[in-house]
Amino acid sequence: MSNENHSVADETIKISPDMFERATGAQKEDSEKIAAPSLSFLQDSWRRLKKNKAAVLSLIVLILMMLASVAAPILAPRDPNAQVIQHANLPPKIPGVDINGLNGTSVAGTTRVDKYEQQNVPDDVYYFLGTDSLGRDLLSRILYGTRVSLLIAFVAALFDLTIGVTYGLVSGWYGGRVDNVMQRILEIISGVPNLVVVILMLLVLNPGITSIIIALAITGWISMARVVRAQTLKLKNQEYILAARALGESPVQIALKHLIPNLSGVIIIQTMFSIPSAIFFEAFLSFIGIGIPAPTASLGTLINDGYKTFRFLPHLMWYPAGVICVLMIAFNLLADGLRDAFDPKMKD
Amino acid sequence: MADNREKILEVKHLKQYFNAGTKNEVRAVDDVSFDIYKGETFGLVGESGSGKSTTGRSIIRLYDPTDGEIDFEGTKVHNISGKKDMLQFRRDMQMIFQDPYASLNPKMKIRDIIAEGIDIHGLASSQAERNKRVNELLELVGLNPDHATRYPHEFSGGQRQRIGIARALAVKPKFIVADEPISALDVSIQAQVVNLLMELQKSQGLTFLFIAHDLSMVKYISDRIGVMNAGKLLELAPAEDVYNRPLHSYTESLLSAVPLPDPEYERSRRRTQYVPRQANGEEEKMREIVPGHFVYCRESEVEALKQKEAAYHK
Amino acid sequence: MSNILEVKDLNITFDTFAGKVQAIRGVNFDLKKGETLAIVGESGSGKSVTTRSIMRLLSQNANIEKGEILFNGQDLVKKSEKDMQGIRGKEIAMIFQDPMTSLNPTTTIGKQVAEPLRIHQNMNKEEAHARALKLLELVGLPNAKNRMKQYPHQFSGGQRQRIVIAIALACSPEILIADEPTTALDVTIQAQILELMKQLQSKIDTSIIFITHDLGVVANVADRVAVMYAGKIVEVGTVDEIFYNPQHPYTWGLLASMPTLETEGSLYAIPGTPPDLLDPPKGDAFAPRNAYAMKIDTEYEPPMFKISDTHYAATWLLHEDAPAVEPPAEIKARQELFKKRYAEGHPVAEGGTV
Ligand SMILES: Nc1ncnc2c1ncn2[C@@H]1O[C@H](COP(=O)(O)OP(=O)(O)OP(=O)(O)O)[C@@H](O)[C@H]1O
Ligand SMILES: Nc1ncnc2c1ncn2[C@@H]1O[C@H](COP(=O)(O)OP(=O)(O)OP(=O)(O)O)[C@@H](O)[C@H]1O
Ligand SMILES: [Mg+2]
Ligand SMILES: [Mg+2]
């Protein structure tokens, strides 16, 4: 046995005989830390969310956008559908701002001209974000449009969270024959394309928000149901679920106390997928002419209209597109923040 | 003799088949019968897949048995219906699980995990009483009540196992099924948990069904032991007898495979192989060889087994 | 006997969100040709990290801060990844805990055993196949010839672990590292695997590093034992020295907490929990849980004290100024028992033969 490997007592240490007395409890002090404040899981999650700056900022932005769209009738400077043909295609003009693009001028050919002057718009008339080809105020249209798009987003999220989650939980939890039947039903529903549902809806309803919402109600929650079911199947044999059953917990309580909190991550992610797809679904329907009927604005229709004249009047596309981008980014950052906030393992 | 003690649980011809009637039918438990007396620890051992967990879960009614009957304090467990009776049963019988990482909900605080049973059964009339009870339970299992507001991931395996024990004790059960409660822990922590279980048994008058494959721990904690193999109970006797006077050759092979912390002993160990016998049409069932010592055997073998048992006493 | 492997003053840290985890804090040991060294210790004490560093299979966030790993005199810490690939599987092989995940589910086991032979020994297909068959027969896989064409899921857990061993032994490595190879298996299969490893060792004379926390297994397989606690080796000695004459209080606790078939009354349990390696305590890391702790333990880390040529322990109790202490009653009772058993001359107790 080679022993140069093992160091022998280091002589640099000052050793005095009294050091060989028994150590007292205080010297041994084990590192029991002070208890964390007594908060509920939700309070705890809120506390963690507040630490995430991007998520908080996103939350504020979303709240502001929501307030603005709810208050659209008050905030909007003009009627969004009122056409003032003489004022068509005006660029943005904001009082007191003299920056190209925001001062009512635009480039025609090679020279920059004041469009407002050209079209004889009175001096005290300002269109903050300009007008479209029918002379409608873009700002007002965006405010109303956001309202429609957010409504659709929330309806989609609502169906996801109610029908989708419940369907998935029931199917996964009961398993066996119940699961079998429920899965077959899902397959049938998902076999029918959304578009067909909307077109069928046109037989009984006029095109518009109602038929889009009904289409979402019928098919929008399917992928949520699938994801939740798969996770439930996995979770239900976890020992903490068995322990809850052994304690006599009812299935509803198990779902609320154990399954949903542990599914929160996938539920949030899935919701965040379905919100943009619902918004774009509406835009697509409007584009092919069976969505929101003509004068009503939504972010989708605004972008579509703007895109047609993008070369000459870029602001008609930029502003609604900007709003949608901000919405999407805010939703995603908030979702990330929420997912982390619901995970107690994240360091805080 | 054992027989004049009060029986708390009777398992009669329990059969638990999975995917019954299909091609991949699994006879996880196949006609198993045993009794557990009040206040004792009944150990169940056997190799992986022998049906120990399935037996435990059928007893606590997480599964519905294919056939047979389980009587707990005289009532048939699987006939209990009605919310009130069912809740009472859930209070009387509790379970401790194997995996300290999977048995606690990661999104719940320790306080709420332990109080789950208190909430379900309405055992606390106010928030303050609930907290007080949780703190008592934490102290009972040797944890610091200050930790009630933490999450499971902040604890080590042994501490988590104690939390699982506290959760089971919260409803003041009479009978606890402990499914390999120490297998996932390392040796030094195993001792903490085993000591705790034994103290609790004394102080709370509990009865345990203790499932494990670590035979030296089972011997240490159990009063009587049942040995399972392939869904059948092969030998049932007081712990001492199973270890010192094994009669079934499967029990012998199991014992001969347990490594002991003694190098000298290990150097001279000889393992024995278990070769299941061919059926020859003769009825096999549990037969009492000497009082309290049962072996799964044929009528024609009883005499030989009696001699084998007698030989141990020489 | 010569040392095939020497680990000197190894220090390893991990970068994590919470800070630097000091997983290995100055580990020294050596391994001789043909011997089996068992490493025991609590979960998280650094057993796996130590052995993975020998294979240079540590995760991305690991840093080898200091130390040498001398394999036949060459420092593995300084080797390039390419050189290591030539050593891994050929000269140093490893078996992992979980027989389910260490095999590729989509390849037949015959191919999986033949692969290292073709890579490291430039065998052609037929040679490799023939050798693979030999290996599978050697590890006792029944009907190996036909079963080589089967996939991992068609084997039981114990059989899979045999196949993993066959792969590890394919190139007759000089060192075999087994990280808890039997923890996932039940006692009967565990016994078979242990027997198999011993047989194979005597045939091809490999050195084995065997990690486990089951002291029964240690007693069965080991020639020497290293006891780890909180990233350090606290005691090392021959298997008899560790089991019959342990010196470190942690080793006492470990031994006493395992019941023998004779234990009555309550078990000895080490109180408390292991230290947080993000911020290891000053002095002896075991002191907070040690009933024998002295003032000096809270100040200075104990060095290795020599008990015999082969037996060392890091505890201040062995210092000449330290008071004499009695090991826990359980340890003494156990020694009495062992003595008695051997005096009576029948070390094999119950269950020996049929
Ligand atoms: N839900 C299930 N569906 C189908 N087969 C099952 C199910 N649960 C268990 N089994 C099978 O029943 C048999 C007994 O399983 P059980 O879990 O009771 O074994 P065990 O003795 O507890 O083993 P271990 O020591 O590995 O926990 C095994 O073959 C297992 O594969
Ligand atoms: N990738 C990693 N990142 C951060 N810390 C790590 C990493 N791998 C290991 N550790 C830490 O290093 C320490 C030693 O871990 P190791 O896996 O070697 O323990 P062990 O003794 O093998 O335990 P077990 O018996 O549980 O396998 C632990 O504190 C662990 O948390
Ligand atoms: Mg089991
Ligand atoms: Mg490890």
**Looking at the structure, do residues C28 and C107 belong to the same domain, yes or no?**
yes
Show the CA angle centred on residue B207, arms to residues B202 and B208, nearest 5°: 105
Distance (Å, rounded) from C-alpha C212 to C-alpha C220? 12
Whose C-alpha lies nearest to ligand 2, atom 11? Answer: C23
Task: Report pLDDT for C130.
Answer: 92
Q: C 23-82 residues with CB below 8 A of B?
A: 42-43
Task: Report pLDDT for C348.
Answer: 40
At residue B46, does pLDDT exceed 50? yes
- Rounded to an integer, the average pLDDT of C148-169 is 86
- Give chain B's mean pLDDT: 90
**Looking at the structure, do residues C69 and C136 belong to the same domain, yes or no?**
yes
**Looking at the structure, do residues C205 and C306 belong to the same domain, yes or no?**
no
Q: Has residue C21 been placed in a domain? A: yes
- Ligand 1 nearest atom to the CA of residue B19, by list position: 4
Say how many Å lie between the CA of residue C17 and the centre of ligand 2: 15
| Set of chain B residues whose Cβ sits within 8 Å of the Cβ of C269 | 188, 191-192, 195
Q: Which residue, A79, A222, A63, is CA-closest to A139?
A: A79
- Rounded to an integer, the average pLDDT of C1-28 is 89
Q: Which domain holds residue C78?
A: 3-213
Pocket test for ligand 1, best of B16, B17, B23, B26 (most atoms within 8 A of CB): B26
At residue C30, does pLDDT exceed 70? yes
CB contact under 8 Å between A344 and B91, yes or no, is: no
Distance from CA of C135 to the nearest CA of A (A): 33
Task: Output the pTM of the full model.
Answer: 0.81
Say how many Å lie between the CA of residue C44 and the centre of ligand 2: 5
- Rounded to an integer, the average pLDDT of C119-148 is 88
At residue A320, does pLDDT exceed 80? yes
> What is the four-CA torsion angle of C34, C36, C37, C43, rounded to 10 degrees?
140
Question: CA–CA distance from A232 to each of A173, A213, A228, A262 (Å)?
Answer: 6, 28, 6, 9
C274 has a chain B CB within 8 A of its CB: yes
Task: Report pLDDT for B135.
Answer: 93
At residue A302, does pLDDT exceed 80? yes
C336 has a chain B CB within 8 A of its CB: no
Whose C-alpha lies nearest to ligand 1, atom 12? Answer: B28
Beta-strand pair C62-71/C3-16: antiparallel
| pLDDT tens by residue, C47-85 | 999 999 999 999 888 999 999 999 999 999 999 999 999
Residue A5: which of C28, C290, C300 has the nearest Cβ? C28
- Give chain A's mean pLDDT: 81
- Work out how many domains chain C is built from and give that number: 2
**Looking at the structure, do residues C167 and C112 belong to the same domain, yes or no?**
yes
Say how many Å lie between the CA of residue B29 and the centre of ligand 1: 9
Task: Report pLDDT for B1.
Answer: 45
Pocket test for ligand 1, best of B52, B179, B234 (most atoms within 8 A of CB): B52
CB contact under 8 Å between C276 and A15, yes or no, is: no
Q: Has residue C229 been placed in a domain? A: no
At residue A9, does pLDDT exceed 60? no
Two tokens, residue B188? 């030094």
**Looking at the structure, do residues C86 and C158 belong to the same domain, yes or no?**
yes
Confidence of residue C343 (pLDDT cuts 50, 70, 90): low
Distance from CA of C134 to the nearest CA of B (A): 25
Confidence of residue A36 (pLDDT cuts 50, 70, 90): low
**Looking at the structure, do residues C197 and C153 belong to the same domain, yes or no?**
yes
Q: Has residue C290 been placed in a domain? A: yes
Tell me the percentage of chain C whose pLDDT exceeds 90. Answer: 42
| pLDDT tens by residue, C77-129 | 999 999 999 899 889 999 987 766 788 888 999 999 998 888 888 889 999 99
Task: Report pLDDT for C351.
Answer: 34
Q: Which helix (H) or strand (E) holds A146?
A: helix A138-159
CB contact under 8 Å between A238 and B117, yes or no, is: no
| pLDDT tens by residue, A38-91 | 667 788 888 888 888 999 999 999 999 999 888 888 887 778 777 777 777 777
The residue from C213, C233, C262 where one domain ends is C213
Q: Which residue, B256, B258, B260, B252, is CA-closest to B270?
A: B256
Residue C294: which of A13, A22, A29 has the nearest Cβ? A22
Complete domains list, chain A, with CATH: 45-79+137-341 (1.10.3720.10), 91-126 (no CATH)
Q: Which residue of B has its CA nearest to C273?
A: B156
Confidence of residue C344 (pLDDT cuts 50, 70, 90): low
| Set of chain A residues whose Cβ sits within 8 Å of the Cβ of C26 | none
| pLDDT tens by residue, B180-223 | 888 877 777 788 888 889 998 999 899 999 998 778 888 889 99
First-last CA distance in chain B: 23
User: By mean pLDDT, which of A23-27, B99-103, C58-62 is the weakest?
Assistant: A23-27
Task: Report pLDDT for A4.
Answer: 41
Q: Has residue C180 been placed in a domain? A: yes
Distance (Å, rounded) from C-alpha C176 to C-alpha C96? 11
Task: Report pLDDT for C23.
Answer: 92
- CB of B48 sitting under 6 A from ligand 1: yes
User: By mean pLDDT, which of A5-14, B84-93, C166-175 is the weakest?
Assistant: A5-14
Distance (Å, rounded) from C-alpha B46 to C-alpha B232? 10
| pLDDT tens by residue, C301-315 | 999 999 999 999 999
Whichever domain contains C156, its CATH number is 3.40.50.300
Whose C-alpha lies nearest to ligand 1, atom 7? Answer: B18
- Rounded to an integer, the average pLDDT of A6-11 is 47
**Phi/psi at C156 (nearest 5 deg)?**
-80, 170
- CB of B26 sitting under 6 A from ligand 1: yes
- Rounded to an integer, the average pLDDT of C309-333 is 87
Complete domains list, chain B, with CATH: 2-274+282-312 (3.40.50.300)
Distance from CA of B204 to the nearest CA of C (A): 17
Q: Has residue C293 been placed in a domain? A: yes
CB contact under 8 Å between B157 and C43, yes or no, is: yes
At residue B43, does pLDDT exceed 60? yes
B276 has a chain C CB within 8 A of its CB: no
At residue A32, does pLDDT exceed 60? no
At residue B155, does pLDDT exceed 60? yes
Confidence of residue A35 (pLDDT cuts 50, 70, 90): very low
C157 by Cβ neighbours in 10 Å (0-12 / 13-18 / 19+) ranks as: middle
The percent helix, strand, coil of chain C (3-state, each to 5) is 35, 25, 40
**Looking at the structure, do residues C195 and C290 belong to the same domain, yes or no?**
no
Confidence of residue A37 (pLDDT cuts 50, 70, 90): low
Say how many Å lie between the CA of residue C180 and the centre of ligand 1: 23
Show the CA angle centred on residue B126, arms to residues B120 and B127, nearest 5°: 85
Q: Has residue C220 been placed in a domain? A: no
Distance (Å, rounded) from C-alpha C283 to C-alpha C302? 7
**Looking at the structure, do residues C27 and C148 belong to the same domain, yes or no?**
yes
**Looking at the structure, do residues C197 and C76 belong to the same domain, yes or no?**
yes
* Other chains touching A, judged by 3 or more CB pairs under 8 Å: B, C
At residue B22, does pLDDT exceed 70? yes
Two tokens, residue B25? 């039918």
At residue A7, does pLDDT exceed 50? no
Q: Which residue of B has its CA nearest to C271?
A: B192
What secondary structure does DSSP assign to C101-135, as a single string? TSS-TTS-HHHHHHHHHHHHH---HHHHHHHHHHH
- CB of B24 sitting under 6 A from ligand 1: no
Q: Has residue C235 been placed in a domain? A: no
Task: Report pLDDT for A164.
Answer: 94
**Looking at the structure, do residues C33 and C143 belong to the same domain, yes or no?**
yes
CB contact under 8 Å between A15 and C322, yes or no, is: no
**Looking at the structure, do residues C250 and C204 belong to the same domain, yes or no?**
no
Task: Report pLDDT for C98.
Answer: 74
Q: Has residue C142 been placed in a domain? A: yes
- Rounded to an integer, the average pLDDT of B253-262 is 86
Task: Report pLDDT for A12.
Answer: 59
Task: Report pLDDT for A347.
Answer: 57
